[in-house]
Amino acid sequence: MSSLLIFNIYLFYGLAFFAIGSVIAFQNLRFSQLPIATALPALALFGFTHAFHEWAELYLELLAPYKSLSWLREMAVLRTIKLWLSFVALTWFAWLMLGLIRFPLRHWVRTGTYGLFLLFGLHVLFSAFYLNQDHYLDTVNLLTRLIFGLGASVVAGAALILYARQHRAESDLSAVYFGYCGIALIAYGLAAGLLKTEWSLWVPVTRTFCALAVLVTLFRALKIFDRERELQIQAQQRQLYRGEKMRAMGELASGIAHEIKTPLSYAQLSCDLLQKRWCPDAPERKQLDRVQRGLQRAAHISQEVLQFSRQQPAQMQTVQLSEVVHSALDLMAHRLKPFTVACRLDPSLRIQGDRIKLEEVLINLLQNAIDASEQEKSLEIHSWARGDRVLLQVLDHGSGIDPTQLKRVLQPFYTTKDNGTGLGLAISQQIIHEHQGELTLDNWMKGLRVTINLPRYLA
């Protein structure tokens, strides 16, 4: 009866960890933009290796009464090694999680981890010379459970709790179950590090329940990737629909603009010839100047239409966002001379994008902000990270836009300027959508605020 009970306990104990590894392994994390997706494979490795360790423990427990003392000593060495290997995977997960959260003591935690690893290595190396085999293995086993088991579980669990709090506050996707998973992982670390298996059968039972709690909460937490995938599909569908609509509009507009360019060129040439016939003060010359300005304006609009309809595919590369902003500011330096530009940029933010096209977006936004801020002559540019996204804002000190017009200004050919084409923001939005991002406008207390939301590059 005792052997059957031990068999069932260790069977479910190992099965719980094998399931932890499986639920992560069967998740398609390849295209996820969530930061935790980079750390979860380490937790899956811990689940598989710890399941192997517990099932091997079951095998050794059942065969122990029938084996020799020398065989048991050899297996004791194997037990210690496989226990250490499984907890190393958990330590790796804890280390990766530390890189995903923001808290003031992160540097000190990593430094303390280095110190513990060094002390563990020195103890394992030197204690082998003065301790007998049994005492040596017991000591190494205890230190492994305390440092790599309890320590890594507490660090990983606390990191999951902090990640859940930060991610829940910064994203529409609910991550609360990662926090519950962290609590369950800390509970398992306490059970594995402080409770000895020799005490009673309730010790492996307690560990099994903690492992099951980790499994259940992790399974619920991983639903976040299903939700993310649904949102990605919806965004792709919206982008595809919009792309088809804009492509049809672009082909029509391109054909019209191309047909208009030729007669416009003839008309401009004729105006140039007529200008030479009249002196600058002649009434006819003034009327002709108005006609020529109108023709130049029409030519400019047709060129904008052609540019809008012939957008080339983006050449994606890793881009430092602050460098793109400074490059755009340099290109607009001639218009920004009388302006005060306040920049608060995070230099660590990187994205996958086409540098030239992103500069084009910023130049369009800066031109609009300059036109709107002629009185105060002040602009602001901010960038920061929000979870797995990067936000860039361009704020002007103008009069803002009528709230009823905010949704319309992103439509092609809609403009609030007397001499605008209505294509600058439409082209900018088209480029940002091509980068899997969003461009939104809203009024703030001093003018208009344009926000660009892009996927963050974390590799």
Domain 233-310 has CATH 1.10.287: yes
Backbone phi and psi for residue 132, each to the nearest 5 degrees, phi listed first: -75, 165
Q: What is the spatial distance between Cα 163 and Cα 349, in angstroms, rounded to a whole number?
A: 19
> Residues 73-102: pLDDT tens digits?
666 677 777 777 888 888 888 888 887 777
Q: Which segments of 332-423 does DSSP mark as H helices, in order?
A: 333-336, 355-372
Asked whether the predicted pLDDT for residue 327 surpasses 70, the reply is yes
Hunting for tokens 């983006």 — which residue is that? 314
Position with higher pLDDT, 65 vs 35:
35
Residue 199 is encoded by which pair of tokens? 């005490």
- Judged by DSSP in three states, 441 sits in strand
Question: Angle at Cα 333 formed by Cα 332 and Cα 335, nearest 5°?
Answer: 70
Whether the CB-CB separation of 139 and 126 falls below 8 Å is answered with no
Among 184, 113, 189, 108, CA closest to 146: 189
pLDDT of res. 1: 42
pLDDT of res. 429: 81
Percentage of the chain lying above the pLDDT 90 cut: 3
CATH topology of domain 313-459: Heat Shock Protein 90 (3.30.565)
Asked whether the predicted pLDDT for residue 60 surpasses 70, the reply is no
Q: What is the spatial distance between Cα 427 and Cα 431, in angstroms, rounded to a whole number?
A: 6
> Residues 167-181: pLDDT tens digits?
665 454 567 888 889
pLDDT of res. 248: 64
Q: Please, which pLDDT band fits residue 375 given cuts at 50, 70 and 90?
A: confident
Percentage of the chain lying above the pLDDT 70 cut: 73
- Mean pLDDT along residues 152-174: 75
Q: What is the spatial distance between Cα 390 and Cα 279, in angstroms, rounded to a whole number?
A: 58
Domain residue spans of the chain: 2-221, 233-310, 313-459
Give the least confident one: 42-56, 75-89, 270-284. Answer: 270-284
Backbone phi and psi for residue 338, each to the nearest 5 degrees, phi listed first: -80, 0
Q: Which segments of 176-222 does DSSP mark as H helices, in order?
A: 176-194, 202-221
Whether the CB-CB separation of 23 and 40 falls below 8 Å is answered with no
Q: Please, which pLDDT band fits residue 65 given cuts at 50, 70 and 90?
A: low
Q: What is the spatial distance between Cα 368 and Cα 391, in angstroms, rounded to a whole number?
A: 19
